[in-house]
Structure 1
Amino acid sequence: MNSVQRSILFSAADRYGSLALFFVATAVLSRLLSPAEFGIYAVVNAVTTVIGASFQEFGGGNYLIQKRELSTENVRAAFTITLGISLAIALLLFVLAGALSDLFAEANLKRGIEISALNFLLIPFSGTISALLRRDMKFGTLAICNFAAGVAVALVSIGLALVGFSYMAPVWGGLAGSVILALALLAGHRDFDALRPSLVEYREIVGFGLYSSGVSIINVFYNLAPQLFLARILDFASVGLYSRAINLTQVFDRLVTQVLNPVVMPALVAKRQAGEDLKTVYLKSIELLSAAQWPFLIFVAIMARPIIAIWLGQTWLEIVPLVRLLCIANMALFAACLSYPVLVAVGSVRDALISSFISLPPSLLLILGASFFGVQAVAASALLTLPFQAAVAVYFIGRHLSFGLKDLARALMKSGLVTAATAFGVACCAVLTEAGMLPSLASLVLALCAAAVCWWLGLLLTGHPLLHQLHLAAAGLIRIAPKLRPSRSAL
């Protein structure tokens, strides 16, 4: 296995471990907390994330990853800028906590925001070390640290929810995870010399950060805006419902996209420096991603009711139409995880900001208008906003990589056929479920089997390149399996 494949393997171990914890914690917390309590937590998380994103990328990890020749002074300057900004954000959140709780007419927000602000005191340490480990493709170390943090989040959140901490349980759980992550990374890295304050190389970092932070601000705010709008215009129960629907819709991101995200940018930068054709890399990548993402989202959309009933419980069946709308809309984002890394790799982070400014403000206005008509209208608005955002991003990337609509259609044609085959198999099982012939669990298991068979047949009949990649991955796992087993002499 080459370094990129090995990195993806370790990243997958990291994300799937975290995903397993997420599934368990979500299933338990959904039965301990009401939609309104989840709504308060979602708004606390949204407010702190938006304010943090406003400044965090000035000295963030993306600069450290994309820098061709990274010196100790670069690392120190990035750490120092991040430290100063993080301290300012923590102080700002403490000061604004009362005003923000008044804005949303919810006194409980104040305490949640104040506790969440403490996370920013740890970000300079965990963020800098994580970026250095990603740059060096040391995803095994990252996986261990992230899993330890995930265990802390799950245990503390569930434990406090059981003893009546309500919406504060996941808030304290998030802080516990941040503490464990920072301590684990510091213990594993041990190069504290790079974390000394210095501003010798600050100019280049700030220059990169102006564009990078701009992209981060507008994208983070867009992703969290529906929850903020719903909290202000409707109620916190609506926020809780929408938040849970988003969580289910984004399971594919947790399964695949978040596995690739830590690897994509350093891998693309390396390929660019090696003189490889990024157009070919990009088109092959979206062909592979769409063949996995589209069938998955179609499966979730069709089987939303039994999935929600089993995972979250009967209380949350109200989100079934939201999940279906969001799944269909998210199919437009098959290349989303590549957009920013590709533009950075070609040296055009400025275009990443411009494309966001073109596509996201109109989308925000549409979401704001939809908020007055209810949570289902907000979900339905994604059917317009997400394809528009995808089209703008692909246009900018196409200008740099010199490809057009025909190239894009050619790359996606086989994936469309595979998705149609998968949808047919799942729809047959859904018909039996709606007719009352199968209970939820049995129908979900049968649909999984049908989806897997039809998906595999679709790959086989179309000769999809993903099939070859799966064979390579399986062969790689078979080769490394003996190395993971303890030797007889060690027993």
Structure 2
Amino acid sequence: MRRSLFLAFADKSVGTLLSVGMMVIVSRLLTPAEVGLFLVASAAVILIETFRDFGVAACIVQERNLTPVIVRSAATIVTLLSAVFGVVVFTGAGWVAGFYGSPEIATLLQVAALGFLFAPISGVRLALLRRDMAFGAVAVIGISANLAGVLTAIALAAAGWGAVSLSWGSVATAAVAAIGALIARPAPEAFRPALAAWRQIVPFGFWSTLVTLLGILNESMPRLLLGRLLGFGAVGVFSRAVSLTQLPDKVLLGAAQPVVLSTFAARLREGGDLRQPCVTAFTIIASFQWPALACLAILADPIVAIMLGAQWTAVVPLLQVTAVAGMALFPATLIFPLLVSMGRIRDFALLNAVLVPLSMSALAVASTFGLSAVAWALVPVNVVQGAAMLWLAKRHAGFEIRALGAGLARAGAVTVAAAAVPMAVVLAAGRDPGMALTGLALGGAAGAWCACLFVVGNPLASEIAALAGRLVSRLPLRQRAGA
């Protein structure tokens, strides 16, 4: 599991760093309105992609008795849905453009629809690689695809293509992922049409799709509402605040979900339980996420200035609120793979069917009062969602609240330690201390975080010690003796 996590982390972290690099450069090449225009179009495409994927990847990973017929049926279903929804996006682009009063959206949607051509090639193959724990191949494919997309988007944006450059970047990403998956896992049998196993795929796909759809609606609704009510500039500013808030998850935790799903599913197939693994995983997630978000909120001014530039200063007050609100969602990384591995995805779907409409309603009301109100509305919305996820995890995994509380207390301690240095720098030098002091603050936060992990006995400390031990053991004997 550690090796798989490392490889998945390499994939996700490099991909995220490439995306961050693109965000830094593109934010200086495109206006907030152009970025917002793309984000509204991409939100619509992502909603359609949820139906297209139909939970097939998760179904393949968790299936206890995977047969060639199931693989062929899954590939056939993805191909049919990709064809149907690709046509829907392409032909419906004009209607969406009319709804928002922006003809440019039609072009963005029609370009993005080309990416649907590659989904049948990559989707099932990548799922098979993850099931086989072949995360090295998945990492190479993911990094190559992200690099192709980033370079394409930046080159076209620099050439003056505007918002559509980002759509072409997404198409390049999909194309390279398909080529890489085809090379790494040819699986020619997947191209033979079959629907014999549809009864095994469709019920799981329905609930998995419902969960994903509700989650994406919850995330995308602010963009869609703000684009309609406040314009694309507001979408760009708010989405940049949310994107920066999500960076710790994407860099540090995004790699964990596919590995956790595969590992939990394997553990259950072997007859084990998930009580202690859940407590440990929640503790480690909070120990990563909370300190990072606390530092992000404290150093919002210099981080926005360095990463986005002068035209994005309106992001700062929103980022300070969304970073704090994001702390409540630490269970989100684990809850989906946990319930999928246990075959309880239906319960998660039903819970989201209640929570997401309530959250969307709260954000819809808040959007009528402006961007700041939407950011503050995320605080109670995220707290309710996070608590509900923990309740559902406890119900099925059976861990003790006292054990989880002790783990989260350790995570809270390292958060306070990590935040102390940036807070001291801001109090001494002001809200925007400059690049040098910002680097010093982040370095001090990292050092205090690491030291506190060992002081409070955080489970992450043992993982760091084990990693250091393995690295030292691989050094030549002479170097170890000198050390």
Give the counterpart letter for 2:190 in structure 1.
A
Residues 55 and 213 in structure 1, CA contact (< 8 A), matched pair in contact too:
no
- Out of 29, 33, 44, the position equivalent to 1:32 is 29
- Out of 422, 447, 457, the position equivalent to 1:453 is 447
Q: Secondary structure at the match of 2:470?
A: helix
Q: Does 1:15 align with 2:15?
A: no
Structure 2's unaligned 5+ residue stretches are 477-483
Q: Does 1:429 align with 2:425?
A: yes
> For 1:346 and 1:148, how far apart are their aligned partners in 2?
33
Q: Within 5 Å, give how 1:100-139 maps onto structure 2.
A: 100-139=96-135
> For 1:399 and 1:207, how far apart are their aligned partners in 2?
22
Q: Within 5 Å, give how 1:180-195 maps onto structure 2.
A: 180-195=176-191
In the TM superposition, residue 46 of structure 1 has moved relative to its aligned partner by: 0.3
| 1:301 alignment counterpart | 297
Give the counterpart letter for 1:356 in structure 2.
N
Q: Secondary structure at the match of 1:164?
A: coil
Residues 57 and 216 in structure 1, CA contact (< 8 A), matched pair in contact too:
no
> For 1:392 and 1:86, how far apart are their aligned partners in 2?
33
Give the count of matched residue pairs. Answer: 476
Q: CA, structure 1 residues 213+425, in 2 after alignment: closer, same or farther (shift >3 Å)?
A: same
> For 1:476 and 1:358, how far apart are their aligned partners in 2?
46
1:137-177: CA deviations, max 9, x gaps? 11111111111111111111111111110000111111111
Q: CA, structure 1 residues 254+478, in 2 after alignment: closer, same or farther (shift >3 Å)?
A: farther
| 2:328 alignment counterpart | 332
Q: Within 5 Å, give how 1:82-97 maps onto structure 2.
A: 82-97=78-93
Q: Secondary structure at the match of 1:250?
A: helix
1:17-56: CA deviations, max 9, x gaps? 2122122211110100000000000011000001221342
| 2:340 alignment counterpart | 344
- Out of 357, 362, 375, the position equivalent to 1:361 is 357
Residues 300 and 319 in structure 2, CA contact (< 8 A), matched pair in contact too:
yes
In the TM superposition, residue 435 of structure 1 has moved relative to its aligned partner by: 7.1
1:100-119: CA deviations, max 9, x gaps? 11111111100111111111
In the TM superposition, residue 353 of structure 1 has moved relative to its aligned partner by: 0.4
| 1:463 alignment counterpart | 457
Give the counterpart letter for 1:359 in structure 2.
L
Q: Within 5 Å, give how 1:22-421 maps onto structure 2.
A: 22-58=19-55, 60-421=56-417
Q: Secondary structure at the match of 2:254?
A: helix
Q: Secondary structure at the match of 2:161?
A: coil
> For 1:213 and 1:366, how far apart are their aligned partners in 2?
23
Give me the CA root mean square deviation. Answer: 1.5
Residues 75 and 195 in structure 1, CA contact (< 8 A), matched pair in contact too:
no
Q: Secondary structure at the match of 1:150?
A: helix
Give the counterpart letter for 2:470 in structure 1.
G
1:318-337: CA deviations, max 9, x gaps? 10111111110110111211
Residues 339 and 393 in structure 1, CA contact (< 8 A), matched pair in contact too:
yes
> For 1:113 and 1:213, how far apart are their aligned partners in 2?
22
In the TM superposition, residue 388 of structure 1 has moved relative to its aligned partner by: 0.5
Residues 57 and 212 in structure 1, CA contact (< 8 A), matched pair in contact too:
yes
Residues 418 and 458 in structure 1, CA contact (< 8 A), matched pair in contact too:
yes
Give the counterpart letter for 2:26 in structure 1.
L
In the TM superposition, residue 479 of structure 1 has moved relative to its aligned partner by: 4.6
TM normalised by structure 1 equals 0.94
> For 2:139 and 2:420, how far apart are their aligned partners in 1?
37
Q: CA, structure 1 residues 206+422, in 2 after alignment: closer, same or farther (shift >3 Å)?
A: same
Residues 279 and 404 in structure 2, CA contact (< 8 A), matched pair in contact too:
yes
Give the counterpart letter for 1:429 in structure 2.
V
| 2:480 alignment counterpart | none
Q: Secondary structure at the match of 1:276?
A: coil
Q: CA, structure 1 residues 132+481, in 2 after alignment: closer, same or farther (shift >3 Å)?
A: farther
In the TM superposition, residue 404 of structure 1 has moved relative to its aligned partner by: 5.0
Give the counterpart letter for 1:457 in structure 2.
A
| 1:485 alignment counterpart | none
Residues 300 and 324 in structure 1, CA contact (< 8 A), matched pair in contact too:
yes
Structure 1's unaligned 5+ residue stretches are 483-491
In the TM superposition, residue 277 of structure 1 has moved relative to its aligned partner by: 2.4
Of 80-89 and 403-412, deviating more is 403-412
| 2:479 alignment counterpart | none
In the TM superposition, residue 367 of structure 1 has moved relative to its aligned partner by: 0.4
Q: CA, structure 1 residues 481+41, in 2 after alignment: closer, same or farther (shift >3 Å)?
A: farther
Residues 27 and 309 in structure 2, CA contact (< 8 A), matched pair in contact too:
yes
Residues 11 and 140 in structure 1, CA contact (< 8 A), matched pair in contact too:
yes
> For 1:386 and 1:462, how far apart are their aligned partners in 2?
27
Of 232-241 and 149-158, deviating more is 149-158
> For 1:162 and 1:450, how far apart are their aligned partners in 2?
36
Give the counterpart letter for 1:268 in structure 2.
F
> For 1:435 and 1:329, how far apart are their aligned partners in 2?
20
Residues 54 and 216 in structure 1, CA contact (< 8 A), matched pair in contact too:
no
